[in-house]
Chain A
């Protein structure tokens, strides 16, 4: 039952990355950013993106030395068996925590706005079953689906934002520095958590056609997502103004508010299926990567078979918080820890590689 190894092209990789991280604009991230730095929230993705660029650049540089290995194998080679296991295990735990809470957030959204009386467990179960099904098909399939889907996702976002422009007032993003420059700078590190997914996406490298594709794809996706998140946040600020504080999921409130003229007043059902498919892709890719890490940690070759059991565990963890508010509270520490941790690991990797003289080594090899 060995799956045929079709490599992941640059466009599929960019699409997966865009769907995985760009979806953050449609859940509670914008209002979370707003609650910290108010009307300057749109700057946080830009600032933290700029901040994350440095360690991420170093990470890609380090990875380029070992062109046939993925990030976890590189960690193992550089940090030694035991520390590498510890580091990878931390990454795995953080990801598991993140995916559990994120899937729960999506279940909450679906339950709050679309299926209000269906039991939470049923919705959650169906979400997980679909994601497991997609994840088990392998990352190549996920890549192809995201490539098909990306156009519709982008189009539906664009239409939603364009329709909401009518009620937006861009003057609301002023005063330009929001709560003050210092506060903004303080908020940037906590925004690093937004980009944690890019770190784990690097583990997909072994599925890519070439390192060049991988590197270029990552930067393209990174640029797109930083701009997209910042723009989405800005639009929500312009649309909701100070009200964004009390709105949990601004994207969904916005699509329930906008209308296509008098004739088609309630159009959220047009956006919902597209958003839902994008969510499936996001978690399918997330599940796949987590299974990959787990397989690497415990030397399990057929890691695809881990996906259903991992998903069940995530579902059980995700069911623990009782209310959506608890979920938001539990997410908060992750936001502060995840980003800096990933940044730190990247820098440590680069430093180790530097001290060990891997860069010189590679240079010599090239010269020879």
Chain B
């Protein structure tokens, strides 16, 4: 009896050996080439796309202290492929390591391809790759995607994954670019009732950049010079029914981001005309959005009426006309009224543009309309896409000025 028991136990022990073979999914960091950015362009061949991979070198910048390697931080390859999933193995003809999309940060699509009907099906097949996460950002670039990757040479942040992470995170915090993770983008496309946005970028500076207000640019128009990388992230591409139709400026994107409660923006710095100045001076303010907007709709009548109340907190940062706010309640009221009016005008103007030019709402406004209907059929019958274009939209800014800035003694 004990003999049998010992043999049985030994056999069971031997079974543990089988666990050693459980290494199908073992992956060594050394063996992997992590793709950080993926570019998709139209190909001149039927049924193919041009895939660009930006591969990060994990060795660069990871070394603590001495050592370090003299290798380049990145590698870029472009190839023609049917889809990005098979492109992985094709790319291995030139890349020595196994290609992985696990750390993919951005999918960059050229404007030309985004305006193509083929774009959406291509994107949907691409994200079927199980390694791609839905928090990857979708970005539209002005030039060809492969050109963009080659031209984009950040000086300070040479590690590509850090570069894109910081660039995009801060862009979203400032509200200049749309928060277009694949998750949000696809959700909006699936919903089908609103416009989808994707952040806009370029590595090409325009020859004669226009001179505008601080945020009324789209990528490439900003006139920055010095010793720097030419890449700009500002503005957003508008997709209607899955095809890119228009571009919003940084300012318009900010308005969308303020109106859309699902975007987490930080504090925004902007200039507003100074109500006390007759020389068209501007004051600098910081806008904080800490509370959610309220959406009220009256969808019963012939013309739907939508009222949006936006609670915003303002901090006055500069005071070019040297008005005394500390002692004068009247001045404070004038400023508050002025800011409210200014906000109302610019927001309403933009929303009118979405109705007439963009032909749809760039924020998930249709979701707020849902609760006014009892069943899905009623909502479909209402036909949101059409009704939105005729709707009367009223913005009610709920302004609170929480700080008037440093009070300097007015000039005598």
Q: Which residues of A contact B (CB under 8 A)?
A: 38-39, 112-119, 122, 126, 166-167, 169, 171-172, 174-181, 240-243, 245-246, 253, 256-257, 259, 262, 265-266
Contacts and interface: CB of A to CB of B under 8 A. Distances in A.
- Which A-B residue pairs are the 3 nearest by beta carbons? A174-B370, A118-B24, A174-B371
B25 A115 contact: yes
A241 B24 contact: no
A175 B374 contact: yes
A171 B371 contact: yes
A264 to B, nearest CB: 12
B23 to A, nearest CB: 9
B191 A253 contact: no
B186 interface: yes
22 contacts: A39-B370, A113-B130, A115-B24, A118-B25, A126-B22, A167-B183, A171-B367, A171-B368, A175-B370, A175-B373, A175-B379, A176-B374, A178-B376, A179-B376, A181-B375, A241-B190, A242-B187, A243-B186, A243-B187, A245-B190, A259-B135, A265-B135
Contacts of A175: 370-371, 373-376, 378-379
B187 A262 contact: no
A166 B187 CA distance: 15
A222 to B, nearest CB: 30
Nearest to A166: B264
B134 A169 contact: no
A230 B293 CA distance: 27
Contact of B165 (A171, A172, A245, A262): A262
B22 A112 contact: no
Nearest to A184: B375
Interface string B353-371: 0000000000010011011
Contacts of B134: 253, 256-257
Contacts, number: 83
Contacts of A242: 187, 190-192
B126 to A, nearest CB: 15
B314 to A, nearest CB: 25
B96 interface: no
B377 to A, nearest CB: 7
Contact of A257 (B130, B183, B373, B377): B183
Interface string B166-195: 000100000000000001101100111000
Given A257-B134, A257-B183, A266-B133, A180 B375 contact: yes
A166 B292 CA distance: 13
Given A174-B371, A242-B190, A257-B135, A118 B22 contact: yes
Interface of B: 22, 24-25, 130, 133-135, 165, 169, 183-184, 186-187, 190-192, 261-262, 264, 364, 367-368, 370-371, 373-379
- Looking at B169, B186, B367, B379, the one whose CB has the most chain A CB atoms below 10 A away is B367
B162 to A, nearest CB: 10
Given A38-B376, A118-B25, A172-B370, A241 B133 contact: no
Given A122-B22, A243-B187, A246-B190, A177 B133 contact: no
Contacts of B375: 175, 177-181
B187 A240 contact: yes
Contact of A179 (B24, B135, B377): B377
A256 B367 CA distance: 25
A257 B190 CA distance: 17
A167 B262 contact: yes
Contacts of A259: 135
Contacts of B379: 175
B304 to A, nearest CB: 16
A284 to B, nearest CB: 19
- Looking at A38, A39, A117, A174, the one whose CB has the most chain B CB atoms below 10 A away is A174
Nearest to A118: B24
B367 A169 contact: yes
B130 A116 contact: yes
A172 B134 CA distance: 20
A39 B183 CA distance: 19
Contact of A169 (B130, B169, B364, B376): B364
Contacts of A256: 133-134
A169 B365 CA distance: 11
A269 B192 CA distance: 33
A116 B25 CA distance: 7
A241 B24 CA distance: 35
Contacts of A118: 22, 24-25
Contacts of A176: 371, 374
B195 to A, nearest CB: 15
A346 to B, nearest CB: 33
B190 to A, nearest CB: 5
A91 B108 CA distance: 55
Contacts of B367: 169, 171-172, 241
A78 to B, nearest CB: 44
B42 to A, nearest CB: 26
B130 A243 contact: no
Given A113-B130, A180-B375, A241 B187 contact: yes
Nearest to B134: A257
A245 B135 CA distance: 19
A171 B379 CA distance: 14
Contacts of A178: 375-376
A38 B191 CA distance: 12
Given A172-B367, A177-B374, A257-B134, 11 more contacts: A118-B25, A122-B22, A126-B22, A169-B262, A169-B364, A172-B370, A175-B374, A179-B375, A253-B134, A257-B133, A262-B165
